[in-house]
Amino acid sequence: YAGQFDRRWGIGSFSALVRDLGGVPSLGVTQAPRPADDEPDADPAPGAMPRAAVAEGAPAWHRFERGALAGNFLHDQLEWLAQEGFARADDPMVAEALARRISRTGREAAAPDVVHWLQRLLRTPLPGLGAPLAELQRLLPEMEFWLPAEKLPVAELDALCQAHLLPGQPRPALTARELHGMLMGFADLVFEHDGRYWVLDYKSNQLGPDGRAYSPEALDAAMLHHRYDVQAALYLLALHRLLRARLGQAYRPEAQLGGALYLFLRGIDGPTRGTVHLPPPLALLDALDAWLGGPQGVEATTC
């Protein structure tokens, strides 16, 4: 057999892009990401003081365990609730089923608190959207997408994100490398509301002991410290291309693309309800289109 293989070709993801922030690229085979694999084990902020202890009587969302395992657990419950329909979260049968799901993970003692937390979360109106998640009817949880990347310099991707998403604010640089193959990922939730389409990502990061720790400035700092701006850019591009493919000539991104919402689950009693809204910069999407395979360069699963 005389065939030749491009040994530089591989599968990349947001998690791989930020794994070595500001450092040396790690070696080894790149593994395809799984849903909700981007939760940090810790949330240190640049120059942060030691974290204050959470009060014993604090709400459940401040007392709940931290780390990647906890984040994946919360993502799993929210994915299930989206499949059931967020509007049904207060239904006693759904709440009972949710409590059983939680108990099966070894968190039986925490089940009542977590059920209350998620019900409260779904009833909380989100800034930027003007409605709670419980009012949304058209939901697509865990949209998987693939974006072709042919010799894409990560430095170019980084520069575009810094110029268009939370511009002028410091953030760690992505490690210099070249992407050649496919970029894939899972968007936690895609939904339609009042004729506009949105992508939403859940974050379980603990920024402090109470709602005051989730100020707009603290949320922006967390977004940039973990480079969630890059993640948002990829999610928005995938949604933009999907809408263009499905709606065709009827698609008007300036009117129909709502943007990216980042929902910090522990910040629902904070001043912005734990929400960061990133409007979709069309100049960024046009530039990413050119770098990542052109207008047809996306495949997304919708079921």
From the list 38, 43, 158, 201, the catalytic residue is 201
Is 76 annotated as catalytic? no
- Cβ distance 211 to 267 under 8 Å? yes
Active-site positions read: 201
